[in-house]
Amino acid sequence: MSAVLDVRGVTFGYEREAVLRNVNLTIGSQDFLAIIGPNGGGKTTLLRLILGLATPWSGSIDWPSGLLPGAVGYVPQFSTFDKNFPLRLRDAVVMGRLSRGGLIGRYRRADYQAVDRILERLHLERLAAVPIADLSGGQLQRALIARALVGEPQILFLDEPTASVDAQTRRVLGEVLNELNQRIPVVVITHDVTGFATQVKQIACVNRELYYHGSGQLSHADLAEAYGCPVELIAHGVPHRLLRDHTPATVNA
Q: What is the pLDDT of residues 212-232, one digit of tens each?
A: 987 655 554 555 555 555 545
Residue 63, in any domain of the structure: yes
Candidates 142, 136, 188; CA nearest to 169 is 142
User: What residue numbers bound the domain in which 221 lies?
Assistant: 3-242
> pLDDT tens-digit profile of 104-163?
557 888 999 999 999 999 999 999 999 999 998 888 888 999 999 998 899 999 998 887
25 touches 63 (CB < 8 A)? no
3-state secondary structure of 150: coil
Residue 253, in any domain of the structure: no
β-strand pairing of 58-62 with 3-14:
antiparallel
Mean pLDDT calculated for residue range 6-19 = 94
Residue 107, in any domain of the structure: yes
Higher pLDDT residue, 252 or 196? 196
- What one-character DSSP code corresponds to residue 144? H
The total domain count for the chain is 1
Higher pLDDT residue, 105 or 88? 88
> In this structure, what are the phi and psi dihedrals at residue 66, rounded to the nearest 5 degrees?
75, 25
- Provide the edge-to-edge strand list for the sheet that holds 17-28: 17-28, 3-14, 58-62
Residue 250, in any domain of the structure: no
3-state secondary structure of 226: helix
Higher pLDDT residue, 249 or 162? 162
Residue 218, in any domain of the structure: yes
Lowest mean pLDDT among 17-26, 48-57, 102-111, 205-214: 102-111
Give me the half-sphere count of Cα atoms (radius 13 Å) on the Cβ side of residue 63.
Answer: 14
Residue 9, in any domain of the structure: yes
pLDDT the model gives residue 174? 87
pLDDT the model gives residue 93? 94
Distance between CA 65 and CA 204 in Å, rounded?
21
Residue 140, in any domain of the structure: yes
pTM, 2 dp = 0.80
Residue 74, in any domain of the structure: yes
> In this structure, what are the phi and psi dihedrals at residue 159, rounded to the nearest 5 degrees?
-105, 110
Candidates 146, 188, 196, 148; CA nearest to 170 is 196
- What one-character DSSP code corresponds to residue 237? S
CATH number where 130 lies: 3.40.50.300
pLDDT the model gives residue 85? 79
